[in-house]
Amino acid sequence: MPAFKPPFFKTGVLAGASLILLSACTVGPAYQRPDVTASATALPATYKALDGWKVATPGDLLDRGDWWTLLGDPALDALVAKVNVSNQTIAAAEANYRQARALTREQRASLFPVVDLSGSVTKAGGSASVNSAGGSGNAARYQASLGASWEPDLWGRIRQGINGAKAGEQASAADLAGARLSMQGELAVNYLGLRQTDVELALVTRTVEGYQRSLQITQNRYAAAIAPKSDVLQATSQLAGAQAELESLRQTRAAYENAIATLIGEPASGFRLAADPNWSARVPEIPAGVPSTLLERRPDIAAAERRVAAANADIGVARAAFFPTIGLSAAGNTSGTDFGDLFSASANTWSLGLTAAQTLFDAGARKARVEQARASYDASVADYRQTALAAFEDVENQLTAAQALERRQALLKTSSDAADQTEQMLLNQYKAGQVAYTDVVTAQASALSARRALVTATVARQTTAVALIQALGGGWQAPT
């Protein structure tokens, strides 16, 4: 018996479908990336804050991806590795990216025919049923159907939908890169804050020890009737104030430690990070590049630009509604009272179909949808331009801050060294009975303040370096 052959595999049908597909055209607008400014002002050749900037050697360090290694801290490197794996914000962004990829595959599937296969078997019984022997019994009937339908993409509606979904997928990939860069930067800033607190804790602890010695000196001088009781009270007050500052710093460190635990996906209650009182800040040299590369280096700019492309594709989808839709269908059916009858040529039926539909009147609904798509495109262009302009502002601000903080750190180093010398000189003079203790208290408070200001400025240079790296896009580069 001849096998059942669905008619839509016939050569003539395939040839006709191929001709229709080849003649298809796209009615949507061709996409071009918008200018960063509406006035078409050319991008500057360099950042204005680069005057006097020390260019890193080699200049391709950021292209290697692991930008945080520029800080030269193995403990930070280990923590960032955990962020990349266990951070839940990154995990959510990665899931959104997988969803966008699946949407692209779903849209692409619309280019191909849909094939359906169905089968059934039914039994009927009763006094009216007569079996093959002429007696009463149950009658069975077997049926199988194979069908296919296809809508040729004559006007590019499906292809524009695919383009939009692909652009959305690329925007989601950039969002994922942006989330990863943001979490890495947040971890680095919290880690630097914790290490700054470690250094300040060591600094204030040494200061407390010094204040305790000063208190003992004043108590001895008071016992010998060479110093008034007010000196003892001042020394006691100064020591208690420094001890209270220690408690405040311990609280700050705990908050940083808990924030780091959350960023690496661990419960704060079980996370510990050993103190490093001898930690020293390393400020990396960062190649700033040129403004034009920022458009490819920043994930948020890339995501905004891809959403412009998606909005452009939506215009094409809306325009395609003005043109008729063409559908091709084919079906084959076979049935019989015995299972073997399904393969009998006499039991086969088939059909071919061609459908066309055109909306004649919709009270302007299609035109309104095109206008909506255009307005959405204009909004996405404005968002893209604003994102790019904000990025240039961010880079300029961080470059300016980096240069100002470098000069400020040098001045604070001079101030701290002078304050340390003044403190020691006045303490020696007090021991010799040459100055009042109030002079010592003032010098010690000034020295502590200067030391902490220097530590803060040094770490601020590091955090500004992290912010500059983020502003430049980290080690990410937009794919072609």
DSSP 4: P
* Range of 86-95, 116-125, 149-158 with top mean pLDDT: 86-95
pLDDT classification of 445: cutoffs 50, 70, 90: confident
State the greatest distance between any 2 C-alpha atoms of the chain, in Å, as a whole number: 136
DSSP 35: P
- Segment 61-78, tens digit of pLDDT: 444 478 898 888 999 999
Q: Pick left, alpha or beta for residue 289 (phi over 0 → left; psi -120 to 50 → alpha; otherwise beta).
A: left
Q: Round to whole Å and give the CA distance between 144 and 347.
A: 10
| Neighbouring residues of 178: CB distance < 8 A, sequence distance ≥ 6 | 93, 299, 300, 303
> Does 460 have pLDDT greater than 70?
yes
Nearest to 115 by CA among 332, 324, 325: 332
Which of 107-121, 233-247, 265-279, 337-351 shows the lowest mean pLDDT across its residues?
Answer: 337-351
Sheet holding 325-336, edge to edge: 114-124, 139-150, 325-336, 348-357
> Taking the CA atoms of the chain, what radius of gyration do you get in angstroms?
38
For range 187-199, the mean pLDDT: 96
pLDDT classification of 455: cutoffs 50, 70, 90: very high
pLDDT at 63: 47
Token representation of residue 274? 């050993």
Q: Round to whole Å and give the CA distance between 395 and 472.
A: 7
End-to-end C-alpha distance for the chain, whole angstroms: 56
pLDDT at 120: 86
| Neighbouring residues of 100: CB distance < 8 A, sequence distance ≥ 6 | 165, 168, 169, 171, 172, 173
pLDDT at 144: 85
